[in-house]
Chains A and B, each alone.
Chain A
Amino acid sequence: MSDIPTSAQVVVVGAGIVGNSVVHHLAELGWKDILQLDKGPLPNPGGSTGHASNFIFPVDHNKEMASLTLDSQKQYEEMGVNTTSGGIEVARTHERMEELRRRMTSAKAWGIESEMLTPAQIRDMVPFVDESILVGGWYTPGVSVVDSLQAGTLMRESAMSKNALTVSPNTEVMDVEVENNHVIAVVTDRGRVECDYLVIACGVWSPRIAKMAGASIPLTPAVHQMIDVGPLPELQATGNEIGFPIVRDMDTFCYERQTAGSMEVGSYAHRPIFHHPDTIPSIEESRLSPTELPLTQDDFDPQLEQAIELMPFLGDAEMRYGINGLLSLTPDAMPLVGETEVGGVWSCAAIWIKEGPGTGRAIAEWMTQGYPEIDPHASDVARFYDNQRSEEHVIARCEEHFNKTYGIVHPREQWESRRGLRKSSLHPRTEALGAVYFEAGNWERPHWYESNAPLVEKYSEQIPERPHEWDARWWSPIQNAEHLAIRESVGMVDVTAFAIFEVSGPGVVDYVEKMAVNKCDLPVGRSIYTPLLTEDGGFKADLTMIRLADDRYRIISGGFDGPRDSHWFRKHLPDDGSVVWEDKTSDICTIGLWGPNARAVMEKVTDDDVSDEGLPYGSSKEITIGSIPARLLRISYVGEFGWEIYTEMENGPALWDALWGAGQEYGIVPVGAGVYGTTGRLEKGYRLMGAELESEYSPVEAGLARPRVKAADFIGKAAYLEARAEEPAAVMCTLTMESHTSDSGMARFPTGGNEPILTLGGDRILDVKGRVSRVTSAGAGPSVGKYLLLAYLPPEHAVEGTELQVMYMNELYPVKVAVAGSTPLFDSENQRMKG
């Protein structure tokens, strides 16, 4: 038995597609001392890679996933292990056809060739399909099958050829040693290895290893059933591993994929079946492999009938092999990539074959230079709140979304399970007003209020109907009515879902200056709205700080961004203890009070000076409302005069009651996040982290660069200065939809899910950096009487008045550039916010 080294710069655990991709890309980027372990043998150590179906459908609605997949497919192609087969998603229902038109639209956005098919065309391509049960289909010629085991071998060999990699199979990790919250060594059954970095890339077993380090990787091993049916002479006759396009029978959540002379039928239709990382059998205990468990045939039986319906020739063919294959599922169906809670311990887990090499590259870049080329916010393992990392949460959410693997998921779709995790103290008040809650991070946040339904009648002439159910799903015309009401008089918004942190101590000014683009060393009581950047000048975060005292700042960020931002801030805390970090999110309740009558309402409940002079825009101070101590911040995300009002969580209801009572004579309305996050925001052209703002774009492109750059150094400064010195490759624009009428004469309203912006000739628009123009946010602008879209456009198109098109559900609609840059479309001089 060969010994393993006693130290390595980085230990990568796992030799499946992910671990192999990681070691390859680390070596490519110059890492020299990599040790790769797996408890199984090579080349197939027995994880999920060994039984994967290995096909790649590159189109995804999600940009991050589509980018990782396309990069992976390119890498497989370069390794010579990518066989193009083409793939068809077939529709048995009209609802599915609409979804396929949506996919066609996403394909257009990412520049992936594809086309819609009639049933007869499907039959021509796949002659053993019974087209009579189909409504149509969608064909992507670039769908491929890869040899992921061979790819893994090639990638290991590439790293070894650089003398960068030692591979130790049949080596089990027994413990991870951590000191000062940083990994120092990995203990294996073949010895202890000191290391600076540990990358956990062992798929379904990853939570076990993470736990040894005191970190968490929230995934569950889950069953995906597949059977092998054959031999089938029609397939044998091709003489190929794969000679026919892969067929995804989307409405039955199944696929049929040729493997040489037989057909693999795979299913995501069965009941969710989960295993625990600790109870997966060992290699010795397994009849096949640890992740190829016995097929529970009863679960698969319903799919047999459906498979025969689509491909009658399967009926008389033999079922030769079947497994309950294990793969990794996460609470939100996205991968788990990035540094965990423990320094030096990185997660690269819950990644499927189709995105493996791309993710390997991303994490290697991230470890090497501090950021990956592809924005990773949706895959970032730091995106979860603590209670979203629990086993209970993982299982509940995975149970909910497993059968949506081939489902039709609305961009605004809400979770049903594990709701009510975190409620504002205002919840009893908002609930009494008929709040409809959406999940914001792990909070319940009112999205609109049914009690405002009468306002829809009042403003009916300004609220267009949304006749298509899809466009109106997870939406209410009440949102538009609340919008018009807050602009007319005054509204109250429960924004307690904000993530709130405080940093304090003698080193705090230097610390926040280092983190933020904009100047933070301002007088006490001033606020700072600022981007945080990665080293290459892309957005890491976008948030507001208040200088509470000489040595204390409050940081206010979005509910969805809190955990990632917290991770980023804490990672950069000085080692000398000169800055103390506190999470105040659960301590503070926040109400937004905005509208032309906001001051009148406030003046009824406080004796403090809330005039423009007493509390100018952007400033903050403590006042007393009734008897309640509160802090005001004169700021607005909806473009109206008013404040964010913070108070201790337990004072929330009393504060609400005071404002509510005072506001009655002004017709105060409760206003939901539909206005705060969409309609009000879009009319003002405010950018949102994770939508407009991501690491692939700079503040210059987003229109958030200030006239001057502060003297202090900060993360990403060099890149920021460079970006300021050059013409931006793209400019964030507000576009208006000029017609909503579809080919069938129905008014349509794009949901804002990466719909491509096209030229009048129907061509995609790419900037010089190769980034595509697509809708980052969409929503009504009730006060401007237009439907608004935000999109980055290259300078030649980012000209006000330019006419372009947006594709939605595979149809084209005229749009016009209303604003190039960050000038608000509504109240462009910001007069209303001056009060």
Chain B
Amino acid sequence: MRILVCVKRVPAPGAKIVLTDDAQAIDTSLLSFTVSPHEECAVEEAVRIAESHEGSVTVMTLGPEDAEEQLRSALAVGASEAVLVPTDGSDWDPISTASALVAAIQELESEGGFDLILFGNESADSGGYQVGVRVARTLGRPIVSGIKGIEVEADGFALRRDTPTGSEIYKVPSPAVVGVKEGINLPRYPTLKGRLNAKKIEVTRSTQDRAGSGQAMVRLVTPQVEINETVILGDGPEAASAVVDLLEELQLFT
């Protein structure tokens, strides 16, 4: 079983997001980088399937050279190969991204196809929900998103999507593409040995053209954040009238 997981390097900000002066990017000088929780779960799911089905996991990202850090994090928890589709650091729109990923996947598949390609349900920063679908469509493979359960079956996969009233099960033939949703599993942390091992694996480069021109970013804006402040209404019985006033103000007394 060959599994591919696609991830995206994104900043890990605090409550307040600081933009660069030209509003073209997030100021990341004091931030770390990560992948979305969906993608962490996708990597974990891939590693689990590979462990139980004698498979292997390849992790791929499109991004700047520094995105190697995210590839190594995946290698540290059990992926065995990593591919970087390098960019100059600028943000690629979903069409360009999907097209480059498809080209890279096709190159990789010349040595044997992937039975399963996993994406996170959506990226943590732009949240476009597009790249996985575009890749699946171009490759002519089925895709289901929002998946919280993957069962390997004889001729394909049974995918579970939770709904407010129950679960939907999709049966897809292999090879397939899946958009994984956080909660499908509890991802492991890297072990020390895993981390050290990940340092030794060579990351392959797969250079692709930036094709297509879909949506483009004009600038970033930070929404007004309402600052929540804790107000201590008082201590002991004296606080009662202040509590009553507040509850009335909030129209909780009817």
Contacts and interface: CB of A to CB of B under 8 A. Distances in A.
B14 A308 contact: no
Contact of B30 (A285, A297, A308): A285
A349 interface: no
A747 to B, nearest CB: 46
A635 interface: no
Nearest to B188: A318
A318 B76 CA distance: 10
Given A284-B14, A285-B16, A285-B18, A304 B189 contact: no
A304 B194 CA distance: 11
Nearest to B16: A284
B191 A316 contact: yes
Nearest to A315: B193
A319 B191 contact: yes
A227 to B, nearest CB: 9
A314 B192 contact: yes
Contacts of B18: 285
B12 interface: yes
Top-6 shortest CB links A-B: A294-B32, A318-B189, A284-B16, A315-B193, A286-B14, A287-B14
Interface in A215-250: 229
B54 to A, nearest CB: 22
A84 B114 CA distance: 56
A564 B13 CA distance: 45
B190 interface: yes
Contacts of B231: 1
Contacts of B32: 287, 294-295
Interface residues of B, number: 23
Nearest to B69: A297
Interface in A276-298: 279, 281-282, 284-287, 293-295, 297
Given A279-B30, A285-B30, A293-B30, A229 B15 contact: no
A295 B231 CA distance: 34
B14 A317 contact: no
B53 interface: no
A223 B229 CA distance: 31
B30 A319 contact: no
B22 to A, nearest CB: 19
Interface in A292-342: 293-295, 297, 301, 304-305, 307-308, 314-320
27 contacts: A170-B229, A279-B29, A281-B14, A281-B30, A284-B14, A284-B227, A285-B13, A285-B15, A285-B30, A287-B12, A287-B13, A287-B31, A287-B32, A293-B30, A294-B31, A297-B69, A304-B192, A304-B196, A305-B196, A315-B192, A315-B193, A316-B191, A318-B190, A318-B191, A319-B191, A319-B195, A320-B189
A229 B192 contact: yes
Contacts of A316: 191-193
Nearest to A282: B16
Interface string A376-389: 00000000000000
B137 interface: no
A98 B231 CA distance: 58
| Interface size class, chain A | 20 to 34
Contacts of A282: 16
A289 to B, nearest CB: 9
Given A1-B231, A281-B30, A314-B192, 8 more contacts: A279-B29, A282-B16, A284-B14, A285-B15, A286-B14, A287-B13, A287-B31, A295-B32
A229 B193 CA distance: 12
B229 A1 contact: yes
Nearest to B231: A1
A740 B59 CA distance: 66
Contacts of A293: 30
Contacts of B227: 284
B12 A294 contact: yes
Contact of A317 (B29, B191, B229): B191
A346 to B, nearest CB: 30
Nearest to A308: B192
A297 B72 CA distance: 11
Interface of B: 12-16, 18, 29-32, 69, 188-193, 195-196, 199, 227, 229, 231
Nearest to B190: A319
B192 A317 contact: yes
B35 to A, nearest CB: 14
Contact of A284 (B15, B69, B191): B15
A331 B29 CA distance: 26
B203 to A, nearest CB: 14
Nearest to B27: A285
Given A285-B30, A295-B32, A307 B192 contact: yes
A438 to B, nearest CB: 40
B13 A304 contact: no
Contacts of B191: 315-319
Contacts of A284: 14-16, 227
Contacts of A315: 191-193
A189 to B, nearest CB: 13
Of B14, B15, B231, most buried by chain A (CB within 10 Å of CB) is B14
A301 B192 CA distance: 9
Contacts of A286: 14
Contacts of B189: 318-320
Contacts of B193: 308, 315-316
Contacts of B190: 318-319
Contacts of A319: 189-192, 195
A295 B188 CA distance: 18
A285 B14 contact: yes
A284 B229 CA distance: 12
Nearest to B29: A279
Nearest to A275: B30
Of B12, B30, B31, B229, most buried by chain A (CB within 10 Å of CB) is B30
A521 B201 CA distance: 80
Nearest to B34: A294
Nearest to B193: A315
Given A284-B14, A320-B189, A301 B195 contact: yes
Contacts of A294: 12, 30-32
A1 B192 CA distance: 47
A294 to B, nearest CB: 3
A188 to B, nearest CB: 16
Contacts of A305: 196
A293 B28 CA distance: 12
B47 to A, nearest CB: 14
A1 B233 CA distance: 10
B110 to A, nearest CB: 33
Contacts of A229: 192
A1 B191 CA distance: 46
A321 B231 CA distance: 32
A229 B196 CA distance: 14
Contacts of B30: 279, 281, 285, 293-294
B27 to A, nearest CB: 9
Contacts of A281: 14, 30
B242 to A, nearest CB: 13
Contacts of B192: 229, 304, 307-308, 314-317, 319
A716 B13 CA distance: 57
A252 to B, nearest CB: 14
Nearest to A314: B192
Contacts of A318: 188-191
Contacts of B12: 287, 294
A294 B18 CA distance: 16
Nearest to B33: A294
A180 B140 CA distance: 80
Contacts of A308: 192-193, 196
A482 B124 CA distance: 72
A314 B190 CA distance: 12
A498 B47 CA distance: 70
Nearest to A321: B189
A263 B31 CA distance: 25
A305 B195 CA distance: 10
A293 B14 CA distance: 11
A286 B15 CA distance: 7
